Structure 1
Amino acid sequence: MKTVSFDELVANQGKEIGLSPWRVVSQQMIDQFADATDDHQFIHVDPERAIRETPFGGTIAHGFLSLSLLSAMTFETLPPLEGAGVGINHGFDKIRFITPVKSGARIRTRFVLANVNARPSGWVHIDYDVTIEIENSPKPALTARWLTLTKLEPEET
């Protein structure tokens, strides 16, 4: 994937910069997330009971599962920053879980570049407004302001 320069990144503040491919959220993925987080609430892992006792018509993904898929969807979608070394998650502002993601649904992420700020330390603070969409749903699964940090490697002379 082509890289993007710091100047190109700055020029795109306020613009949509990427739309990820669709990704299926399978029951197997939900079950594995339940095992990893020890969150086995029936609305996630018991399809028969979820049909009987919820308004969802079956199991739904954990909200944090949908949120955690942002990393993979970022790598599939956004070009890396030129000269970037390590990138880290710095947190989120105003996460809103809006619509449950049903088992078997397809999701994708829309990325808007909200803010870019180069720090004197060589770290670049990049904020994205992200919207995880659900195929054929008028409302998204979630919206958030995602805060990231990327370390620019010094140029060799």
Structure 2
Amino acid sequence: MVTINSYEDYKTHEGKELGVSDWHAISQQQINIFADATLDHQWIHVDKEKAEREGPFKSTIAHGYLTLSLIPYLWKQIADVRNVKMEINYGIENLRFGQPVLVDDEVQLKAKVKSIINLRGTVKAIIQATLAIRGKAKPAYVGDVVFLYHFND
């Protein structure tokens, strides 16, 4: 894990791979809980029997937005950004889903610092986030996650 205490610390990582998270298994229970939270109960996610019988993947799959919602959890395993008054999830840019995450797949976040900009005291970090799937060459997604940080003086 990388510890970052300031804009200057962050800047030293610009253009570099920052690290990878631990592997995280996507269970059917997690998919079902996400479906309940988002009211998205499409059968490809929650109906195991129908997905095995009729689905293109012969398995249920995680919601794309479920895999995106793991970014804060997995990011905290890569970077410990300290000395901040506030951290804001500002957005995701240029995101593309490469392939679905099947139930019981394990995923891992890889992070590269694309750019760090100091905007008059607000630090804008653009992190290239790649969600790898164990045993598969193609990632679940690649996109640029944008964080805003207000570091303590």
TM-score by length of 2: 0.95
Q: Within 5 Å, which residues of 2 pair with 1:6-155?
A: 6-80=7-81, 82-120=82-120, 122-154=121-153
Per-residue Cα deviation, 1:37-79 (whole angstroms, up to 9, x for no partner): 0000000000000011112111000000001100000112212
How far the C-alpha of 1:2 sits from its partner, in A, is: 6.6
Q: Could you tell me whether the CA contact under 8 Å between 2:2 and 2:18 is conserved in 1?
A: no
Q: Give secondary structure in 2 for the equivalent of 1:7.
A: helix
Q: Give secondary structure in 2 for the equivalent of 1:13.
A: coil
**Per the alignment, do residues 2 and 78 of structure 1 end up closer, same or farther by CA in structure 2, a change over 3 Å counting?**
closer
- Quick check: 1-10 or 65-74, which moved more? 1-10
CA distance in 2, matches of 1:153, 1:30: 38
**Count of aligned pairs between the two proteins:** 152
CA distance in 2, matches of 1:143, 1:61: 16
Higher strand proportion, which one?
Answer: 2
For structure 2, the 5+ residue unaligned runs are: none
Q: Give secondary structure in 2 for the equivalent of 1:67.
A: helix
2:64 corresponds to which letter in structure 1? G
CA distance in 1, matches of 2:115, 2:50: 44
How far the C-alpha of 1:6 sits from its partner, in A, is: 2.5
1:97 corresponds to which letter in structure 2? F
How far the C-alpha of 1:18 sits from its partner, in A, is: 1.2
CA distance in 1, matches of 2:87, 2:23: 24
CA distance in 1, matches of 2:2, 2:103: 34
Q: Could you tell me whether the CA contact under 8 Å between 2:61 and 2:102 is conserved in 1?
A: yes
How far the C-alpha of 1:97 sits from its partner, in A, is: 0.8
TM-score by length of 1: 0.92
